[in-house]
Structure 1
Amino acid sequence: MHTDRAGGSEPSRAGAAPDTLDVDRSDPEYRAWLKEAVRRVKADANRSADTHLLHFPLPDSWEIDLYLKDESTHPTGSLKHRLARSLFLYGLCNGWIRPGRPVIEASSGSTAVSEAYFAALVGVPFIAVMPRTTSPEKTRLIEFHGGRCHSVDDPRTVYEVSARLAAETGGHYMDQFTYAERATDWRGNNNIAQSIYQQLERERYPEPAWIVATAGTGGTSATIARYVRYMQYDTRVCVPDPENSCFFDGWVSGDPGAVSDCGSRIEGIGRPRMEPSFLACAVDRMMKVPDAASIAAVRALEQAMGRRAGGSTGTGLWSALRIVAEMLSEGRTGSVVTLMCDPGDRYLDKYYSDAWLADQGLDIRPHAAAISTFLTTGGWAA
């Protein structure tokens, strides 16, 4: 029932630079540049410590543990640092990223921040094609790392605009939405799934009942789901989906052509089309999460742990709490893991702004009350 759309073939994808603009890939000067670029990207990984696995406070008597994998501690401050590193290595080793030619990416912000960082690291220009509603802090960070922002009014046009810019400049359209699931080594190599299981080794429930991973490209959920199956774990993977995203509808209906007519308010997750990297067949469960619930959850996170996070973290946390509530009501014990995708300081004018909530017509009070009641009584009233 649940199917996914196959991605296009690499050599003929839209936006690839014409062959007449290609450098001679056997040229010693190019090969020397390539070796140095790969060394720099791999050195970044070698310098970076693993991210923390934080314990969310729940009553010990429940015998259920909830964790957040804190991806905000990466050098560029988000889960997308892992993806950007993998995409750059993939593009470099495939011969797609070349000296002096720009890398172009369609992004809602965080991937572009991380890719701008790696573009600067290897010495190539970077252009981010983003919705005009992207948070100003993300724009600032992209420019801080030397990237240039190209804003579009309709989020659904980021793909075609990115491909056009790549064709016009002779650059490389990175296309995270196609290549996220294939650029990452899902069998291990310290990917996010392997890291989670290693960090759980000494916990009382080392094999989680559920891992909750929101989807933008779908690359993270694909990596986790593949690793779970490869290692023969019994863990299930849940993907929560925000409003104005088609992933949930496409998963339920099995329609790879499902679309949404507008963009997600929760930056970084949810898409207007079924992306090639979203592997619906690998997902055990999906939840549709109201945007107000996502924002209530990140504010509850701040109250419980003193940590601010972005809205996508709230989408995952809301779903993880629902799963914990189900386990509790059924008398089951175990652990649940979700992700802290990026820091909340990128969204102070959005998810932490009551004025923005009012402007969007979002009332988080019922959802905040549901979370508070659950954490106090164990009963889920939402």
Structure 2
Amino acid sequence: MTTENPNSWAAEAIRQVEGDGRHLTPTPLRPLSLSAIPDVEIYVKDESAHPTGSMKYRLVRAMFCEAIARGAIRADTPVIAATSGAVAIAAAHLMIPVPDAASIAALRWLRTAAGIEAGPATGTNFWGTCHLVARMREAGARGSIVTIIGDTADPYRNTHLDPAWMAARGLDPTPYEAEIERFARTGEWPAG
């Protein structure tokens, strides 16, 4: 059993968790040009630049600091973190239906057309972004949209970026890639 003052432990733990992020520079915000749609600017916020390659890095740091500060985590508290890794996909799916093959098509398009190495959550975000840009264009609206690069491509090289893996699961991103390419070229987005 420890005799350390719990407040001293908490202060030091928060200092260490917060300190882990102090060396980080802000994640880049990069323009993504779709020449067919000049009235709507698209920017991608590259949260995959974090040490973990995930947008969840800031969130988890904040959750730990808050839990330590309110006493939910103490020096003797075991911490088990469980995640499905699909928070962004689930959130986007509630608003705009995104087929799995469309997420893959979008991450592949980002890779080849924009040089952005991203995973399927980012593909889902980009598919939804295209949908929103198309809605803005149809309404005659001008403006900007910021989307997030929430995951890197590295963990998906043997899955979502592997043609054999996709074929084994019946995923064909080709028609969706054609839709994104047509959208980038003409501004026309599929109805629905």
TM-score of the two chains, using structure 2 as the length reference: 0.90
**What are the within-5 Å matches in structure 2 for residues 58-137 of structure 1?**
58-59=34-35, 62-108=38-84
Runs of 4+ deviating beyond 4 Å:
none
> What displacement does 1:28 show?
4.4
Note closer, same or farther for the CA distance 1:28–1:325 as it changes in structure 2 (3 Å cut). same
Partner Cα distance (2:104, 2:4) in 1:
53
CA distance in 2, matches of 1:69, 1:346: 19
State the shift of 1:62 in Å: 2.2
Partner of 1:240: 92
Query: 1:292 is matched with which residue?
Result: 101
| Greater helix proportion | 2
Percent identity between matched residues is 41
2:9: which partner in 1? 33
How many residues end up aligned between the 2 structures?
Answer: 191
Q: Give the AA of the match of 2:155.
A: R
| 1:174 counterpart residue number | none
Label 1:67 to 1:78 Cα distance change in 2 as closer, same or farther (>3 A): same
Instruction: Show CA shifts across 1:336-379 (max 9, x none).
Output: 11111011111111110111111111111110110011111111
Matches within 5 A, 1:120-159: none
TM-score when normalising by structure 1 = 0.47
CA distance in 2, matches of 1:74, 1:303: 22
Distance in 2, matches of 1:375 and 1:308, equals 18
User: Aligned letter for 2:11?
Assistant: K
Shift of 1:292: 0.6
Find the aligned partners of 1:55 and 1:360 in 2 and give their Cα distance.
34
Q: Is the 8 A contact 1:57 1:304 kept in 2?
A: no
Measure the CA separation in 1 of the matches of 2:37 and 2:59.
38
Residue matched to 1:370? 179
| Structure 1 equivalent of residue 148 of structure 2 | 339
Letter in 1 for 2:92: P
Q: Output one character per residue of 1:183-214: Cα deviation in whole Å (capped at 9) or x when no partner.
A: xxxxxxxxxxxxxxxxxxxxxxxxxxxxxxx3
Contact 1:79 1:341 survives alignment (8 Å): yes
Unaligned runs of 5+ in 2: none
Q: CA deviation at 1:322?
A: 1.3
Instruction: Report the Cα distance in structure 2 between the residues aligned to 1:96 and 1:325, rounded to whole angstroms.
Output: 45
Higher relative contact order (CA 8 A, sep 6+): 2
Shift of 1:70: 0.7
SS of the counterpart of 1:240?
helix
- Mind listing any 5+ residue stretches in structure 1 that lack a counterpart? 1-22, 111-176, 178-213, 217-238, 242-247, 249-285
Kept in 1, the 8 Å contact 2:36–2:185? The answer is no
> Are 1:62 and 1:328, in contact at CA under 8 Å, matched by a contact in 2?
no
